[in-house]
Structure 1
Amino acid sequence: MAKLTIDMPHVGESVTEAVIGKWLVSPGDTIRRYDPLVEVVTDKVNMEVPAPRDGTIVGLLVSEGDTVEMGSAIAEMEVEGEIQEQKPVAEPSTDGPSVQAASRVGSMIMGANVGPTGGEFTDTSLRTDSSAVEASGSKATPSRRRGRRGRSHSGNRISPVVRRLADRHGIDVSQLTGSGTGGRVTKRDVEAYLEAIEAGATPTAERADEVVEPSPIRRIIAENMSRSFREIPHAWGAIEVDVSGMVAYRNANLERVQQSTGQRLTYLPIVLHHVARALSMHRLLNSSWDNGKVVLKGAVNVGVAVASEQGLVVPVVRGADGLSLEETVSEMARIVEGARAGKLQLEDVQGGTFTLNNTGALGSVLGGAIINYPQAAILTTESIAKRPVVVTTSEGGEAIAIRSMMNMCLSFDHRIIDGAEALAFMNDVKLRLESMSQGDQSR
């Protein structure tokens, strides 16, 4: 028998460390090649590290919740025969580090999904807080219903140790809702299910305080937000926009855009379309602070904040200032759907130069967002509501009219941008949106 060391895979030069999310195996487990060993989380992607060969796990070198550098040893296994050069299942980026030793297993990833801001996301059901799992148990309702031994696992991809545990107790894992990546049923899910059956539904007289260990993704979000607020001197501004013309344009062009793109036209891609063009004219808003110098970005890559079950995801619309409205609609639909499904690629979240946040979809009317580090600004669009406003009549007089109004809020890095430049940018966007009419093609 030979001992093989398994390394944390490299996924790109911008990712230097990862958090051990959840071990799917234990020492002594016999595994087959490509069985998932561990879920790991970075600020760019989630991934599973698969077994490089058939063998037996002899040691886990790091614990759940540990932060480890890429390329570091994380586990050891015993395999039959000699250890030869392992060809990666998925080749790393050409600009990333290479595999150095024949006995090291790196750059092997399965089901890579994108993570949090700057970042950010995440598969739809990654949980690693064992205390929360043990406290709440499996999401399946405890009962004595069990499947036949041998048992339908309903196509779920589960680890060998989970399969053996489920078979030993005659549990049909299709009856459980997994807490692992992609909804996979884990060993803890099965154990919690068994504990719930044995304990029964015993009500407690009073609910006690519960301390919940944040998931790796929530910790990464917390670190990114804290760093941004700590290092960037935030300043804020807000402006009111009459978007009656934009509303009329959308209503008049719903069918045309649906036919040309296959997507339903919403307000956010319209706003992004005009924001991108304004950014090309106000370059300080499309910049970053780097070691005492301002870096004016050549590309206009607008990140779009997307809420997922696990946290905030910011996929990027690249070259947004050069896209037509229809192209913007199509690209936004692709990245937003990918973010919510946990199917984004690493390049979908890299290279953002500015962020657009739409809390208005949730009913917000005013807010101050935290800048997506290391960018210089983030623009938030708030809810659209009909309000009475004073307007100028065609005769030059004044009148009260009902108009569709929207607030825009800008958070900006005061090291780079002063209030005058920030307001000039917002007024540019305001003018573009207020100048829209029903017949515009907005290309």
Structure 2
Amino acid sequence: MSKFDLKMPKMGESITEGTIINWLVAEGEAFEEGDIILEVATDKVDNEVPAPSSGILVKTMYKAKDVVLVGEVIAILEVSEESKQKKESSQDDKKEVKKEKKTFKRRQPLVASAEKFNVSNSNTFFSPLIIEIAKTHHISFEELARIPVTGLDGRLRKSDVFQYIEDGRSYKFAQPITQDPTVYRIPQLTFDKGKGKVIEMDRMRQMIADHMVYSKHTSPHVTAYVEADLTNMVNWRNANKVAFQEKYGERLTFTPLFVEAVAKAIKDFPNINASVDGSNIIVKEDINVGMATALPSGNLIVPVVKNADTKDLKTLAENVNALAEKARENKLVGDDIKGSTFTISNVGTFGSVMGTPIINQPEVAILALGIIKKRPEVITTEKGDEIAIRSMMYLSLSFDHRVVDGFLGGSFVRRVADYFEQFDVDRKI
């Protein structure tokens, strides 16, 4: 018998590291050739590592949940000399990783905290493959932790997740529950849902529901509010809307004026025009403004005005009107609703004074525009303070507090309001 170095195997062309899920053979235990010694997860698939020959596991170099580079020694085995020579020869032919340790940063294992919610599976370590499936289906950590498991030592397997999805995701809207006895627990109540007409969600409504729940679980939402005086904008639009339509053949609604001001504010504060990728923030080069729009069915969709910062008011009006008409006629195509980098929701069209919108993932902020309402306001004139009738609006910006702090969020929404208030009443169409 002689010592043999068991190394982290290469499990794909682009795979540079793997996460040890668990050891199936303990130190000092014997194994037969082909026995599974450990399970390893990558960002693409879970793998089982078999024993190269019969022997004994002398020492493990890493623990479960450690992230290890391909080619690193993960265990010391004691095998026959013949098996050792055969295996080392095979490994020498396949060496592809030599000095990668300095060029790759180790990732922290993805672990959901079991102290924050009740779980069905006792092991709350989720492999990269499980995380990727959860992202695709908008499944939160809380929901993952409630899925019944069949894996060894309470490990959640791919088949468990797919079976749970097929069964209808019974824990989709379950509330987090603290395990700390000193903290108030949300009671597990059985509600009487009552009797009435049962309406099955259509596919779009299910997608919207999943997207909204995923967004709330993903982004810590904070909302900032400001008030804006739109009197100048309202007066200018009312005075020019007929002439605008006669000249360009397009209706002049408030939406292109809003999109124009938002695009200008985004150029002033480009970090609001971003998305999150793990520990990285991607600040977008293009400014594509999405417009949350209600379809005839009542479902919500977000058509996108591409490169809004580069277009004049005529072109913005053309884009907005065309997208709105397509939405009313259910003729929006894939390209019409892709690529938004920032979204506005005009809740004022429904008579709402203000709103607290949910972020349109993967963006980091969304702006709700309330109803334009005439109110008596105190204004400063050359004669001093006076009371006047002004057209006022509340703006509310929901932002992702992981990457947008109060200063950026508050400054941005204030800048949008400033552009509304400073509208040029002498502007030519």
User: TM-score when scaled to structure 2?
Assistant: 0.53
Name 1:406's counterpart in structure 2. Answer: 393
Name 2:202's counterpart in structure 1. Answer: 215
Give the distance between the partners of 1:219 and 1:393, measured in 2 at CA: 53
Q: What's the CA shift for 1:309?
A: 2.6
Residues 1:233 and 2:203 aligned together: no
Q: What's the CA shift for 1:372?
A: 0.5
Q: What's the CA shift for 1:208?
A: 4.6
Alignment counterpart, residue 280 of structure 1, candidates 267, 272, 291 = 267
For residues 284-327 of structure 1, the C-alpha deviation after alignment (integer angstroms, 9 at most, x for no partner) is 21101111111000000000011013300101000001111111
2:222/2:400 contact within 8 Å kept: yes
Gaps (5+ residues) in structure 2?
1-193
2:223/2:398 contact within 8 Å kept: yes
For residues 20-42 of structure 1, the C-alpha deviation after alignment (integer angstroms, 9 at most, x for no partner) is xxxxxxxxxxxxxxxxxxxxxxx
Cα distance, 1:437–1:208 mapped onto 2, change above 3 Å = same
Give the distance between the partners of 2:363 and 2:291, measured in 1 at CA: 13
Name 2:326's counterpart in structure 1. Answer: 338
Alignment counterpart, residue 340 of structure 2, candidates 322, 343, 352 = 352
Give the distance between the partners of 1:242 and 1:413, measured in 2 at CA: 27
Name 2:412's counterpart in structure 1. Answer: 425
Alignment counterpart, residue 296 of structure 1, candidates 283, 306, 313 = 283
The amino acid across from 1:242 in the alignment is D
3-state SS of the aligned residue for 1:209? coil
Alignment counterpart, residue 437 of structure 1, candidates 416, 421, 424 = 424
Give the distance between the partners of 1:335 and 1:317, measured in 2 at CA: 8
1:241/1:408 contact within 8 Å kept: yes
3-state SS of the aligned residue for 1:383? coil
Give the distance between the partners of 1:432 and 1:234, measured in 2 at CA: 25
The amino acid across from 2:307 in the alignment is G
Name 1:313's counterpart in structure 2. Answer: 301
RMSD of the alignment, in Å? 1.4
Q: What's the CA shift for 1:379?
A: 0.5
2:355/2:369 contact within 8 Å kept: no
Aligned-residue sequence identity (percent) comes to 39
Give the distance between the partners of 2:220 and 2:247, measured in 1 at CA: 43
Alignment counterpart, residue 259 of structure 1, candidates 234, 243, 246 = 246
**Regions of 4+ moved over 6 Å:** none
2:226/2:394 contact within 8 Å kept: yes
How many residues align? The count is 235
2:229/2:421 contact within 8 Å kept: yes
Which of the pair has the greater relative contact order for Cα pairs under 8 Å at 6+ separation?
A: 1
Give the distance between the partners of 1:322 and 1:260, measured in 2 at CA: 21
Give the distance between the partners of 2:428 and 2:364, measured in 1 at CA: 30
1:248/1:437 contact within 8 Å kept: no
1:393/1:399 contact within 8 Å kept: yes
Gaps (5+ residues) in structure 1?
1-206
Q: What's the CA shift for 1:374?
A: 0.7
3-state SS of the aligned residue for 1:213? coil
The amino acid across from 1:249 in the alignment is W
Q: What's the CA shift for 1:435?
A: 1.0
Q: Which of 1 and 2 has greater Rg?
A: 2
Give the distance between the partners of 2:325 and 2:423, measured in 1 at CA: 27
